Structure 1
Amino acid sequence: MDAEIKLLIDNAKSTALSNGMVDRSTLKKLLELKPGSEECEYLGKASREVMIKHTGGYVRIGSSIGVDIAPCPMNCQFCSLGEEWGLVTETHILTDDQILSLAKSVVDKGFTQITLRTTEYFSHQKLCQLGRKIRAAIPGDYMLTANTGEVTTKMADELFYSGFTGMYHTLRLREGIDTPFDPQTRIDSINSIQDSKLMHTVGIEPIGSEHTDDEILDMIEYFRNLDLVSVCIMKRVNVAGTPLSRYAEISDDRFAQIVAVARIAGGLRWGVATHPVIPKTLEYGADHITVETGANPRDDLQQIECWEPYNHQEAMKLIIDSGLKLGQASRDGLYERTSLKTGDSVPKIRSESTHGRFDLSERIRNGPVMLYFYPQEYRHISQEYEKDLNRHFDDFVKRNIALVCINDESVESHKTLVKNIDSRYEHISDTDMKIAKDYESYIIRDSSEDSIGKTNRELFLIDTDAKLKYHWRARLADETIPVDCLISQIDEALRL
């Protein structure tokens, strides 16, 4: 192995493990390595080390459900749905019952994420309706993601309030050249999602043999300026009859190499997903794979049917065979830390608060207490979510539940927040993180290095017997549960 390249990879790995920013020139040298070479294999091992520190060696499986398939007037040159190619001539849409059945199957298998994927002009209101139906019909701590057309911040927030937790929307390679979209239109939607309550995933896609290292690096550098959950590395799967099928697909070795560079570039700031499912990407640092069902724009399908290069069982086996661990939806292994389970006695709390002194054992004499742990008060989502809770204050009062907010900031800081947003809730100061540590409510993954180790967003319902009645945990600091859903789940927990 070239000693200079080995040192370059070692230094890049060290920077990534400390969540630092590996410079572009280094990333370019890593992309210039010969795919499948000894040096590239060493890069893959280094990237996997970063992934293991990032996730603990857990890999998520998501299922992307193609809701509809229809001829599309946009005629993106890689997509089989383009009207001009004549590959898809009819419109087909899954029924609500079919979508619910597929979604339930995914959750029952323990998958951590469901993505509803639609064509560009699918009805926004219908998508919101589907989100509400899924959340109402299928309980569980899973992420629900939308992959749809252009959105405003208002539309993105409407998806959030309909039960979606995130959205996939990206600026594609050669946008405006291989697609008719104005790149600024895509960027406007990306900015709208960034300003919304949704978590955001982007992709470097669809990668073909014609794309240069610099084009890939341009995407990476742009994405490093965003607040993201993950970046999906997607190779183009050629469909005969589409214009870009004249270019060769990238090899599995090249695909895995790009995955490794994206992992090194992101450090501990983002996850790395891949499509399609290629075993080698798990060896090179991927932490999320997707099984697809329904309509897929990379296929020349005339009707809705199953599209699975790996089925659900095979995908799970692939993770285990790779020496990694499978994250679960109900208690996602990616973020599972607490030993507290429903019915367990909870740690005692005595601390200063905006109301003077808080003592959990005294407070529960008057009724159940909901502990709301949340990240720093300057975070936009923290403030907006507390405003939502504020609007539901009477709902908690009717249930005789005292909701109390906790994080690692001072009482004075809490008082400023209470004044600024007219909060009606008591706020507890946990400056030494003792309460957060007792409840194991702290951030292990975030786009901001300064946030890691701080208070996470979690909800604990403590009954009058000092036992845990209900628990919800954010996998990422800015994830939230819609308050209507929270109240519904609390009612269910109190009935049990």
Structure 2
Amino acid sequence: MDDAAVSLLRKVSERKPLTEDECVYLLGFPEDSPEADMTVCFADRLSRIANDNTGEIGAQIGIITGPCIADCGFCKYAVGTTDADDFVMSDDTLRDYIGRITEHGDVTVISLMTIHSFDFEDLLGAVRVAREEAPEDVVIAVNTGDLTRQQCISLRNAGVGRAYHAIRLGEGDVTRLNPFDRLETVRNLMSASIGVVTCTEPVGPEDSAREIVRSYLGSEKEGFIHGSVAKRVPVPGTRMGGCGEVSDRRLMHIASVLLLSTAWKADVSAPVGYYGGFYGGFGKVYAEYAGNPRDPKDYSEKSEGRTVGWARRKLFEDGYSKIRKADGSTVPLDRDYLRMTGSL
């Protein structure tokens, strides 16, 4: 076992955050090494202490999809490679999705996703429908293209409490978007009192440990409320569909180092940290419905099967003993609960 790696984990246990160089050092070990395994186990233990071994579910609904001018090399909707048609979800369909998703009260946030190019009035109308249909305790979020400050204010007034926005790895090179425009949207959202979460993504085999760590730590300094990490999924037909992907084990190694880098910053009483996005794991799982940029099928819930039922099973299989409901209460996550919610 590498003495320096052990020393760095001991540093985290003493409530001291890791530096960029220290994170890069920990990521320098192979994903199947004892050092990587030790890092993953330590991060998992800290996160379970923080959340009392409680899982949480969010859900994303693709409400506006089709050929997108952002032309991201990893996205199935990239205008240069897609065969998708323009699609705007009807109000009745959205109501049906939300009713089914929130039926058992254990989805805490619903995110409405659009492509980069969309009609703002369509999004605003969908937000109003979602806020009206979803229980009051469920947070309504958006994952959408760049926005003006006034648009962000309008979204906030319509009921949006959270937004996902990211300056992706390779932004401006593998996408047609300007990183500064992405950052301006983040600041517009924050100025409208919308909490912004982000993700260091999409991680591919070509991305260096330093690039990944620098992106994550930079997001924390920018004022995002949570950050996480996600890998690039090779979607057939996209420009980057043949560029490979990192393994799930390597992704967990990366996620663990990033969690440990900020493990004590949010609350000295528990290792909550800045890491808290759904996409990266640690007890938070996202179900995905309708159009999804990473799924070649039109309806993600019928393809990868990442429904709310799948999310409950995933948390159960990962050893979480409770699940958090939208009202803040918790219930035991056992086979009886899975049967009761139709998740088996």
Out of 215, 227, 246, the residue aligned to residue 250 of structure 1 is 246
Out of 109, 112, 125, the residue aligned to residue 108 of structure 2 is 112
For structure 1, the 5+ residue unaligned runs are 276-280, 335-496
Q: Which residue of 2 aligns with 1:410?
A: none
Letter in 2 for 1:123: D
Structure 2 CA distance for partners of 1:245 and 1:138, relative to 1, 3 Å: closer
Secondary structure at the aligned position of 1:54 is classed as helix
Deviation at 1:119, TM superposition (A): 1.1
Letter in 1 for 2:11: N
| Native 8 Å contact 2:287 2:310 kept in 1 | no
Map of 1:462-473 to 2, 5 A cutoff? none
Note if 1:8 corresponds to 2:5.
no
Residues 185-221 of structure 1, C-alpha deviations (whole Å, 9 max, x = no match): 1111112122221111011111111111111012122
Map of 1:214-225 to 2, 5 A cutoff? 214-225=210-221
Out of 320, 325, 328, the residue aligned to residue 328 of structure 1 is 325
Note if 1:166 corresponds to 2:182.
no
Secondary structure at the aligned position of 2:221 is classed as coil
| Native 8 Å contact 2:141 2:162 kept in 1 | yes
| Native 8 Å contact 2:289 2:307 kept in 1 | no
Map of 1:91-106 to 2, 5 A cutoff? 91-106=86-101
Q: Which residue of 2 aligns with 1:270?
A: 274
Structure 2 CA distance for partners of 1:22 and 1:72, relative to 1, 3 Å: same
Q: Which residue of 2 aligns with 1:129?
A: 125
Note if 1:300 corresponds to 2:296.
yes
Letter in 2 for 1:170: A
Cα distance in 2 for residues equivalent to 1:160 and 1:258: 33
Give the greater-gyration-radius structure (CA): 1
Cα distance in 1 for residues equivalent to 2:295 and 2:310: 21
Deviation at 1:30, TM superposition (A): 1.4
Deviation at 1:46, TM superposition (A): 1.3
Secondary structure at the aligned position of 1:84 is classed as coil
Letter in 2 for 1:11: K
For structure 2, the 5+ residue unaligned runs are 264-271, 332-344
TM-score, normalising length: structure 1: 0.61
Secondary structure at the aligned position of 1:243 is classed as coil
Percent identity over the alignment is 22
Letter in 2 for 1:193: L
Map of 1:270-289 to 2, 5 A cutoff? 270-275=274-279, 282=281, 286-289=282-285
| Native 8 Å contact 1:111 1:328 kept in 2 | yes
Out of 26, 34, 44, the residue aligned to residue 22 of structure 2 is 26
Note if 1:74 corresponds to 2:70.
yes
Cα distance in 2 for residues equivalent to 1:105 and 1:303: 15
Secondary structure at the aligned position of 2:112 is classed as strand
Higher relative contact order at CA 8 Å, sep ≥6: structure 1 or structure 2?
A: 2
Structure 2 CA distance for partners of 1:253 and 1:129, relative to 1, 3 Å: same
Cα distance in 1 for residues equivalent to 2:308 and 2:84: 30
Cα distance in 1 for residues equivalent to 2:218 and 2:191: 17
TM-score, normalising length: structure 2: 0.87
After the TM superposition, list the runs of 4 or more consecutive aligned residues in structure 1 that deviate by more than 4 angstroms: 302-305
